[in-house]
Amino acid sequence: MKASQTAHRIGITGLGMSVPSKVVTNHDLAKIVDTNDEWIRTRTGICERRIAEPGTATSDLAFLAAREALKNAHLDPKDLELLIIATTTPDMLFPSTACIVQQRLGAKSAVCFDLSAACSGSVFALITAQQYLLANRYKNALVVGAEVLSSFIDWTDRSTCVLFGDGAGACVLQPVKTGGILATDMGSDGTASGLLWSARPGSTRPSSTTSRR
């Protein structure tokens, strides 16, 4: 490899976040399901979670986090080239939530898509964006992890309702001369896919059977 072709490093140059104002503590959950603060904390480390108001879309939280990250990186949305949103609670099946956020940001030049990998989504999206930049395909990328999981949480199921909340975090990725992402690792284990899942809407359990032909 020639010196001019030596791979550069990719670093995080801007950060942003957005969380709902409503806080639900473990003590609050103990009032509606058979659980307690100690049981939750010792098993999950969670003390509280943020819950969005009804009608809040994932794109709402993602947009606010994205805007803050771009501002933090001193990057004009018009210069953004790649936008990936990691989510399992998209606004809708299509168009992608990334496209909705793109429109709100005014990032007309950005290639946009969603990535679904549940809890690993943000890490997978960051590594995906990093690879595009390492290949010199783009120079400015924005990765957002956003969820409004409260939109389908079963608040009577103590085994799952204690785990989830709502919020968004964003980061801008760009080539850097020093520092940057030193190493990454990815992995998946499909044998555990039956332990925690949400099937609807999906091809096996569509949201409405009236549309099937």
Q: How far, in Å, CA of 161 to CA of 193, rounded?
A: 19
In a domain, 168, yes or no: yes
Asked, for residue 186, whether it belongs to a domain, the answer is: no
Q: Residue 139 CA to chain centroid, in angstroms?
A: 21
In a domain, 190, yes or no: no
**Which pLDDT band, with edges at 50, 70 and 90, does 152 fall under?**
confident
Q: 169-182, pLDDT tens digit by residue?
A: 999 999 999 999 99
What H or E segment, with its residue span, contains residue 112? strand 111-115
102 is a domain residue: yes
Which pLDDT score is estimated for 212?
44
Secondary structure (H, E, C), 150-185: HHCCCCCCHHHHCCCCEEEEEEEEEEECCCCCCCCC
Strands 111-115 and 141-148: unpaired
Residue 130 is assigned to a structural domain of this protein: yes
End-to-end CA distance of the chain: 55
Q: Which residue has the tokens 């990334």?
A: 98
Q: Is residue 195 part of a domain?
A: no
User: How many CA atoms are closer than 13 Å to the CA of 28, on its beta-carbon side?
Assistant: 13
Would the pLDDT of 1 be above 50? no
pLDDT on residue 210: 53
The two tokens of residue 26 are 């473990």
**Is residue 2's pLDDT more than 90?**
no
Can you give the CATH number for the domain in which 41 is found? Answer: 3.40.47.10
Question: What is the tens place of the pLDDT at every residue in 17-43?
Answer: 999 999 999 999 999 999 999 999 999
Look at the block and give the residue holding tokens 């007309």.
108
Q: Is residue 183 part of a domain?
A: no
Q: Quick one: which of 198, 189, 167, 199 has its CA closest to 86?
A: 167
* Distance of alpha carbon 131 from alpha carbon 133, whole angstroms: 5
DSSP state letter for 193: T
Residue with the bigger pLDDT between 207 and 95: it is: 95
The pTM of the full predicted model, rounded to 2 decimals, is 0.88
The confidence band for 160, taking pLDDT boundaries of 50, 70 and 90, is confident
Place of tokens 């409004």: 148
In this structure, is residue 31 part of a structural domain? yes
The residue range of the domain holding 142 is 8-178
Give the chain's domain count.
Answer: 1
Q: Are 96 and 111 in contact (CB under 8 A)?
A: no
Per-residue confidence (pLDDT) for residue 199, from 0 to 100: 66
Q: Classify strands 48-50 and 23-25 as parallel, antiparallel or unpaired.
A: antiparallel
User: Three-state SS across 69-83?
Assistant: HHHHCCCCHHHCCEE
